[in-house]
Amino acid sequence: MRIIVCMKQGLDPKTVKISRSREELDMREAVHKTRFADKVALETALRVRESSDAGEVIALVVGDEAADDTAREAIAIGADRAALVLAPPNLGGKGMAALIAAAAERLGGADLLIAGQPDEMDRIGSIAPRLATALDLPLLMDVVGFDAHSGGLSAVARGDGGGLRMPVALPAVAEIHPSAGRPRYPLPSRIATAWEPGLVETWTADELGVSEEVLAPDTEMGGLVLGAERQRGQTISGSPPDAARELVAQLRGRFRGQRLI
């Protein structure tokens, strides 16, 4: 079985600050690194390879030249090989799907194409549904694991209040839930060889036959809408029962939509 894991770099949110005076993101110390969700997707692919005792895991990275590091990190973690597709920074979702589809074909096709969930700084959104549509393949969402057995492959996906086991008709596309498994660390022995020259195949959009028109972004980033500035040192007065009720009301308003309280 051949599994292609779609990976890219994302902004490390800890390195991005908000400039309230300029109402924009302060990116002076921003760092791009391999997205955690993509490492979880790679981990899931490696587990399938190990459980079925056969097959190949290929990391397919889309990004700029710095994303070469992500391709090599994937090899160090356990991918059999990696490819990098060079893409413009303001790539649109349709362009991303087109590049992955073309690169997957160049790699000889795949039984399973998997991707991680988008992160909050991502403006392309979920790529797996686009990819499934572009390739006319079945889509599995929120997958937390695969079971390889004699009858084929089944997936377990996270649903409302539990999990669902579903048979997988290969080839297929899957989006991996972040809770699927903790990514493993790179192996020291593989780190030693992963950065050797010529190990990562690199293609441009042109080489893959994807036109500039397809790569055009479908969204344009504007300014920031800032929330209220954090106010520390507020005191809620009143008797303990009154203060408790007031605090619950304040926190429910503050964390609306997060189901925290």
Partner 1 sequence: MGMDLSDLQALMGGSFDEVTSESGGVWVVSPDGRVDDGLLRLVGKARVVADALGGYVTLLVAGEGAHGDAGGAIPAGADKIVTASGVPAAADLADFFRERSPQAVLLPRTPLGRAIAPALAQLLDGSLCDRAADLAVDPIYQRLIAHQPILDDAARMTLSLLNSPAIVAVDTDLLPSAFQEPWRQGETTSAEVAWGQPPAYEPVKLAQPGLTLHSAPVVVVAGWGLADEVGVAAARELAHALGGFLAGDESALDAGWVTEDEVVGLTGATIAPSLCIALGVDGDTNFMMGTVDALCVVSAQADAQAPIVPFADYNIIADPAQFARELVAALH
Which of positions 66-105 make contact with partner 1 (CB under 8 A)?
93-94, 97
- Examine residue 151 and tell whether it contacts partner 1 (CB under 8 A): no
Cβ closest to partner 1, residue 123 vs residue 190: 123
Stretch 104-123 residues interacting with partner 1 (CB under 8 A): 118, 120-121, 123
Closest to partner 1 by CB, 19 vs 193, is 19
List the one residue from 159, 193, 196, 209 that touches partner 1 (CB under 8 A): 159
By CB under 8 A, which span of 65-73, 78-86, 198-206, 245-253 interacts with partner 1?
A: 245-253
For the chain, report the end-to-end CA distance as a whole number of angstroms.
45
> Given the rule CB under 8 A, which of 51-59, 102-110, 124-132, 204-212 is the region that contacts partner 1?
124-132
Amino acid at position 37, single letter: A
Q: Does 13 bind partner 1 (CB under 8 A)?
A: yes
Residue 127 binds partner 1 (CB under 8 A): yes
Does 255 help bind partner 1 (rule: CB under 8 A)?
Answer: yes
The answer to whether the beta carbons of residues 11 and 30 sit under 8 Å apart is yes
Hey, what's the torsion of the CAs at 153, 158, 164, 166, to 10 degrees? -30
Among residues 88, 99, 81, 75, which one has the least CA distance to residue 195?
75
Nearest CB to partner 1, comparing residues 49 and 94? 94
In the complex, least distance from residue 192 CB atom to partner 1, rounded to whole angstroms: 30
Closer to partner 1 at the Cβ: 150 or 237? 237
How far apart (Å, rounded) are the C-alpha atoms in residues 167 and 132?
A: 17
Burial class of residue 117, CB neighbours in 10 A (0-12, 13-18, 19+): buried
Nearest distance from C-beta of residue 118 to partner 1, angstroms = 7
Residue in 37, 4, 34, 3 with CA at minimum distance from that of residue 177: 37
Contact (CB, 8 A) for 148 and 52: yes
* 74 within 8 A of 82, measured Cβ to Cβ: yes
Q: Which of 27, 31, 164, 169 is the binder for partner 1 (CB under 8 A)? A: 164
Name residue, tokens 């090899």. 75
Using the rule CB under 8 A, is 192 a contact of partner 1?
no
